[in-house]
Structure 1
Amino acid sequence: MSQAESGNSQRLRLVNYLKLIEDLWQKLYYVKWNPKSFAMLTRLAQDMVQNARERDDERLRNLVAQLEQHIKNCAVSGGIPSEPDRQRLTALIEAVRNILTASSGYNASDEPRTRPLLSPLPEIVLIAPDENPPLVAKLEDAGYRIRHIADLVEAEQRLRERVPGAIIVDVDFSGGPEPATALIAQLRAETDLRAPVLFLAERNDISARLEAVRAGGVAYFSKPFENDELLDVLRELLLPQTSQGYFRVLIVNDQPAEAWEMAGALEEKGIIPRVVIQPLQVLQDIHRFRPDLLLIDLDIKEVSGQELAQVITQHRDCDTLPIILLCLPADVPNYLSNLDVPGTSLLTKPAPISYLCWEIKQRLRRARAMRIKLGSLTDNDPISGLFNRRRYLTLLERAIETLGLSAQSQAVMFIVLDNLRSIRDSAGVAAADEVVGQAARRLRQVLNQDQQAARFSDAMFAALIPNLIGEPLLALARRIRDALETGFYQVGEQALLLRTSVGVALATDRSQDHLMLIQRADLACGLAREAKGERIVLQQTELKDKRDQEASSRARMLEQVREIVAHERLWLVFQPIASMRGDTNERYEVLLRLRGNDGQELVPGSVFGVVYNHELGQALDRWVIEHVLDMLRQRQRKTTVFIKILPVTLQDRTLSGWLRERLEQTGVEAQNLVFEVAESTAERSLRDMFGFLGGIKMLGCGFCLDRFGRGADSLSLLKNLGADYVKLDMYFVNGLAKDPKKQAQIKELTKNLETLGAATIVGGVEDVKAMPILWSLGVDLIQGFFLQHPYREMSYDFSGAAF
């Protein structure tokens, strides 16, 4: 076998392994989860690593090794991987596929994997009597090629020679609206003009609108109109020309003959269909195909069609997906009485194919228009047209999670419009908004398609810049500054100038938290505003100095903690946790206090922030547990003590054995100990959490999830961990009495927690005002200065303070 044939054979084996891994992963996630089948992924990844070693491609070998290690790590927990782990697994598969595709031209999957791709925007003909209509600039800023014609004779000649992507007609010529309307009607009759026509007019009455419709108009705007509204409508009308794979329909039908007949009819109408014969694979196919509409036959055998439709609408990726359901005429009364699936239509079969295609196209057009509007409202800033802060943070978090795969670095660039406030004060809010809009368009012209931009706050843009470091990154920052600062911003009769400052923070590995990256970019912006030169700061040298300082400070703190432990300069204090439901059982949270060399008490956060992932943290946790057990052994009354655990202790595989021995030696019942772990720590260390919980729960100890309710999916995490107690995050307590929204959130949380068998604890209660509110919201237990400040003795009178 030649060397070329051998290399091709190796590549095909890797492609096959990758497809097997991806197919199995999607079936596990979308069809049915099975831990034993997930173990098969590990074996497939191991085989792929062996085959990749024969390839002379170091990056491919490295990515395949990362894929194998990630699958192994996910398999350790025995449960479904967390959302970040799922994203990482999908990104690794995608990265390996991209390398195989780039090296061979082979496409590892023939399935469409993304939303429709947009081709270059077509030419727009604007027929308007004005010499320089403002709409021309708006359309050009949006990326359209504009041909403005102010004469109806010239317009007719142009449209007979060449059909544009769309036609916008301002009918208010000096001779009245009739000539312009008649021109369009004549051209549509004589030349079969297919381009969408949008009419602009002073009149807003129904007669004028009817004339426009008869002439062939598809949209009508009465003056004055919103340019952004016109652009949204134009974008929607041009989708058939600008989108590859414009409409996609997923047909779920276990009768192949019926399904393929429908698919063939839809293809003739320019709609891309896909047929699913096995209904249980529908979520997997929705993920791959990204359909615009589902067509489901309710008369399927493997599973109830009604239940399948309900499952689909309850899935977060499909809750806005339009669905058409087909049923036999005899079943209509039953479905009309019992079918409760939002956003669906019910048709009887066999439906005439022509009518079915017409209904599908109507639903598709309405659904896509609604998605565009909702997407714009949800993800975009209305003034600048850029992404909003929430969308930017989501993109940044995903980018950091996949760092090292598609991108080797990610930079957060903040661009502050330094004098926007003074423009608003002097020229007004409308003028300031216009400046922001113009500045955003200038920014978009500098950035390429891989560089995302957002309006992060009132006077700040943010850009996400992959794969640029050092001088090229600074050069881009200078181009952005120059684009925004050079030339006037024309607002009415005013000519305004902008002054900017640019701060940049760089991430080159996944260990960097996305919020810390934001903080560093914000700090760089502050330094840039104070600078006298070019007002651009890349926080790189400053970061190194800061890291050196932090490392030195950390080393000094660790040495101080060692001395404190060696000389026993540490003690415990206790704060009561009281029931609001008449339960007089004694509960305390234990808190560790330390005294430095100078005799002053150290701030606990400064200590735990250093030892949280160091072996000294493990030693401190064991010291606390041992002294709590000694105190409980001497105590006459039954008392439950809550003990906070540092992340490093979660990794201690010897903890459960050591704890069992100490419980036996002291005679303390395991149920008197409740271990607390913060929700954020549990999310980041799920594999360690499962090992830790397995050990303490086998002994009979309790578990409390601390600082709960602010995570990405707090309730799902709780379901996986199974806590006995949940202590709500302090966010919910601050300003509770005057915040109905927080009260509603707590009420909903307590209901869910009660269903899951977890008691609710609210800490930070400092005055009596919160008491009736917390009681009415269903809170079980409270803690805070209102009961008692932390005290060395467990001396609170629970019997006299039952609520």
Structure 2
Amino acid sequence: MVSAARIRETGQRMAAEQFLLELTRAYKVFAGSESDQPAACFCLMLDHWPKLRKQFGYSGLFGLIEELHELIAEELDIDVVTCAFNERSVIGWLPHSSLRTAEKQANKLHDLIGARHFSVGEEELALSVSLAYAEFDHRFTSADRLLLSVVSGAEQLSAAGGNEIRRIRPEVSFGQASTGNRQMLGLLMESLRKDALKILFQPLMSTAGEPSEIFQLLPRLSAADGSLITAADFVDVAREAGVLGVLDRWMLQRAIRLLSHEYDLQPVKFFLSQGESLLNSEERRDWLRKQAEAYPGVSGKLIIDFALEDALSNLKGTERFLALADEIGLEVCFSRADEHSKWDLLADSLRVDYVKMSPDFVRRLGSEADLEQRFAEISKPVRKKGTKIIMPMVEDASIAANLWRSGADYMQGYMIQEATETLDMNN
């Protein structure tokens, strides 16, 4: 892959193809890496192009483009790859540049061009140029869209009079994210990269009338139009792309940070859903052990929630995690249980602190006449061992009324209280 070397075009078409190939490779490396690998792209466009073409012809325009190439190669003090995009534009790729570096170099280049006289034949002229640049960002989803954005940005600047610089920011609206997996994944990955996911808090209400002290942490993506995208809309996308573990780790780090700093003196417990990577990866469990050792304040205040199906399909890993949780002071919940779940295991080798029922079970509890009695019988051994039962997705008053008779220890849902951006200890 080309890195610091500048591409010298022997023909415009070959140069453009080679540039796009290198840019595409670089973007794929960026998109596939969990670590931050900054880079940027820019488009430098001649203003008043029809007038320049009429005055100097195409040979004059290409001569100006060549002078711009030489200026970039001589004056920019960073790695840069450039290409003659057409007779009025130079596009460039900054392989190792952060946003701050790209902004600094873009301003430097614009100032240098404004202060210089360019030669076309026997004539000299001052050039006006428009320059658009963007850092590599997952929300572009591809090198093509990145390049299209900076070229379109430069065109818009030039059409509006030119002699301007603009940073191009990708935007993904709620509608775009909801209808396109690539857009949703791009928004998620960029939010993880920039530490920009939002966390909402939803309390679990104790049916014994105790004050709320357990709060579910719910991740949300912020769309460009201000909408918040729920986890239900992006978790499957993350799982299919193989990055659910990255999201889970980010959520764990955030929960630990909140418990160790903002809420270290508050009598709260945070309920956190996790995928199966903590169950089937010894490396992830070792990482969690080290986090618990580094932040001992999380002991007794963090509840890790796994889908019961994941736990049952990774029995050895589940047993190892339960041993680890006991060692470092974490509580555990298995969720999405129903009357057909393996309650004998939940009362024995897979005994945990909480069992959360499935939303479908909660809905059926009020409509199936004998379900309440059957549930009381099958869950009795688990309750005797001290496991608390949680009823989620309580969305209306009729469901809530039925659940009071079910013997549930906690209820959760928008009928109880909506999730909020700040932790409310008064409800």
Instruction: Give the TM-score of the pair, scaled to structure 2.
Output: 0.52
Tell me: CA distance 1:644–1:613, structure 2 relative to 1, closer, same or farther (3 Å): farther
Tell me: CA distance 1:557–1:651, structure 2 relative to 1, closer, same or farther (3 Å): farther
TM-superposed CA distance for 1:653, in Å, is: 1.6
TM-superposed CA distance for 1:751, in Å, is: 1.9
TM-superposed CA distance for 1:614, in Å, is: 5.8
Q: Which region of structure 1 is more displaced relative to structure 2, 705-714 or 774-783?
A: 705-714
SS in 2 for 1:791: coil
TM-superposed CA distance for 1:732, in Å, is: 2.3
Tell me: CA distance 1:660–1:581, structure 2 relative to 1, closer, same or farther (3 Å): same
1:673 is matched with: 302
TM-superposed CA distance for 1:709, in Å, is: 1.8
Q: Does 1:610 align with 2:237?
A: yes
SS in 1 for 2:235: helix
Aligned-partner residue type, residue 580 of structure 1:
T
1:591 is matched with: 218
Tell me: CA distance 1:581–1:570, structure 2 relative to 1, closer, same or farther (3 Å): same
Contact 2:259 2:298 (C-alpha < 8 Å) held by counterparts: no
1:774 is matched with: 403
TM-superposed CA distance for 1:644, in Å, is: 0.2
Q: Does 1:733 align with 2:362?
A: yes
Mapping 1:343-492, distance limit 5 Å: none
1:655 is matched with: 284
Mapping 1:69-218, distance limit 5 Å: none
Tell me: CA distance 1:603–1:629, structure 2 relative to 1, closer, same or farther (3 Å): closer
Q: Does 1:698 align with 2:327?
A: yes
Tell me: CA distance 1:591–1:718, structure 2 relative to 1, closer, same or farther (3 Å): farther
SS in 2 for 1:721: coil
Cα distance in structure 2, aligned partners of 1:761 and 1:702: 14
Cα distance in structure 2, aligned partners of 1:678 and 1:577: 18
1:165 is matched with: none
Unaligned runs of 5+ in 1: 1-552, 799-803
> Residues 610-629 of structure 1: CA distance to partner in whole angstroms, max 9, x if unpaired?
32376522221121122222
Instruction: Give the TM-score of the pair, scaled to structure 1.
Output: 0.29
Q: In the comparison of the two structures, how many residue pairs are matched?
A: 247
Mapping 1:758-769, distance limit 5 Å: 758-769=387-398
Tell me: CA distance 1:597–1:642, structure 2 relative to 1, closer, same or farther (3 Å): same
Contact 1:595 1:601 (C-alpha < 8 Å) held by counterparts: yes
Q: Does 1:685 align with 2:301?
A: no
Contact 1:764 1:784 (C-alpha < 8 Å) held by counterparts: yes
Aligned-partner residue type, residue 415 of structure 2:
F
SS in 2 for 1:691: helix
Cα distance in structure 1, aligned partners of 2:211 and 2:227: 36
Tell me: CA distance 1:720–1:709, structure 2 relative to 1, closer, same or farther (3 Å): farther
2:377 is matched with: 748
1:715 is matched with: 344
Cα distance in structure 1, aligned partners of 2:346 and 2:369: 26
Contact 2:338 2:357 (C-alpha < 8 Å) held by counterparts: yes
Q: CA RMSD in A?
A: 2.8
SS in 2 for 1:675: strand
TM-superposed CA distance for 1:761, in Å, is: 0.8
TM-superposed CA distance for 1:608, in Å, is: 1.1
Cα distance in structure 2, aligned partners of 1:641 and 1:601: 21
Mapping 1:264-343, distance limit 5 Å: none
Cα distance in structure 2, aligned partners of 1:687 and 1:762: 28
Contact 2:343 2:378 (C-alpha < 8 Å) held by counterparts: no
Cα distance in structure 2, aligned partners of 1:769 and 1:668: 40
Tell me: CA distance 1:711–1:735, structure 2 relative to 1, closer, same or farther (3 Å): closer
1:98 is matched with: none
Contact 1:613 1:647 (C-alpha < 8 Å) held by counterparts: no
1:757 is matched with: 386
Tell me: CA distance 1:729–1:618, structure 2 relative to 1, closer, same or farther (3 Å): same
SS in 2 for 1:637: coil
Cα distance in structure 1, aligned partners of 2:241 and 2:352: 26
Tell me: CA distance 1:603–1:783, structure 2 relative to 1, closer, same or farther (3 Å): closer
Mapping 1:7-26, distance limit 5 Å: none
> Residues 345-387 of structure 1: CA distance to partner in whole angstroms, max 9, x if unpaired?
xxxxxxxxxxxxxxxxxxxxxxxxxxxxxxxxxxxxxxxxxxx
Aligned-partner residue type, residue 245 of structure 2:
Q
Cα distance in structure 1, aligned partners of 2:310 and 2:240: 11
Cα distance in structure 1, aligned partners of 2:284 and 2:188: 21
SS in 1 for 2:270: strand
2:207 aligned residue (573, 576, 580): 580
Unaligned runs of 5+ in 2: 1-179
Cα distance in structure 2, aligned partners of 1:663 and 1:628: 12
TM-superposed CA distance for 1:598, in Å, is: 6.3
> Residues 433-463 of structure 1: CA distance to partner in whole angstroms, max 9, x if unpaired?
xxxxxxxxxxxxxxxxxxxxxxxxxxxxxxx
Contact 2:203 2:212 (C-alpha < 8 Å) held by counterparts: no
TM-superposed CA distance for 1:699, in Å, is: 0.9
1:627 is matched with: 254
1:784 is matched with: 413
Q: Does 1:566 align with 2:200?
A: no
TM-superposed CA distance for 1:714, in Å, is: 4.0
Cα distance in structure 1, aligned partners of 2:185 and 2:400: 41
Higher normalized contact order (CA 8 Å, seq sep 6+, divided by chain length)? 2
**Percent of aligned pairs sharing the same letter:** 24
Cα distance in structure 2, aligned partners of 1:585 and 1:598: 33
2:268 is matched with: 639
SS in 1 for 2:363: coil
Cα distance in structure 2, aligned partners of 1:618 and 1:555: 18
Aligned-partner residue type, residue 334 of structure 2:
L
Cα distance in structure 1, aligned partners of 2:291 and 2:343: 33
> Residues 580-602 of structure 1: CA distance to partner in whole angstroms, max 9, x if unpaired?
12333611111111134665433
Tell me: CA distance 1:708–1:718, structure 2 relative to 1, closer, same or farther (3 Å): farther
Cα distance in structure 2, aligned partners of 1:728 and 1:746: 11
Cα distance in structure 2, aligned partners of 1:709 and 1:735: 10
TM-superposed CA distance for 1:639, in Å, is: 0.7
Contact 1:732 1:746 (C-alpha < 8 Å) held by counterparts: no
Tell me: CA distance 1:622–1:609, structure 2 relative to 1, closer, same or farther (3 Å): same
> Residues 541-599 of structure 1: CA distance to partner in whole angstroms, max 9, x if unpaired?
xxxxxxxxxxxx76665444322212333111111012112333611111111134665
Larger proportion of helix:
1
Mapping 1:507-546, distance limit 5 Å: none
Aligned-partner residue type, residue 689 of structure 1:
T
Contact 1:703 1:724 (C-alpha < 8 Å) held by counterparts: yes
Tell me: CA distance 1:646–1:612, structure 2 relative to 1, closer, same or farther (3 Å): farther
Contact 2:346 2:382 (C-alpha < 8 Å) held by counterparts: no
> Residues 159-212 of structure 1: CA distance to partner in whole angstroms, max 9, x if unpaired?
xxxxxxxxxxxxxxxxxxxxxxxxxxxxxxxxxxxxxxxxxxxxxxxxxxxxxx
SS in 2 for 1:733: helix
TM-superposed CA distance for 1:717, in Å, is: 4.9
Tell me: CA distance 1:759–1:648, structure 2 relative to 1, closer, same or farther (3 Å): same
SS in 1 for 2:317: helix
TM-superposed CA distance for 1:606, in Å, is: 3.5
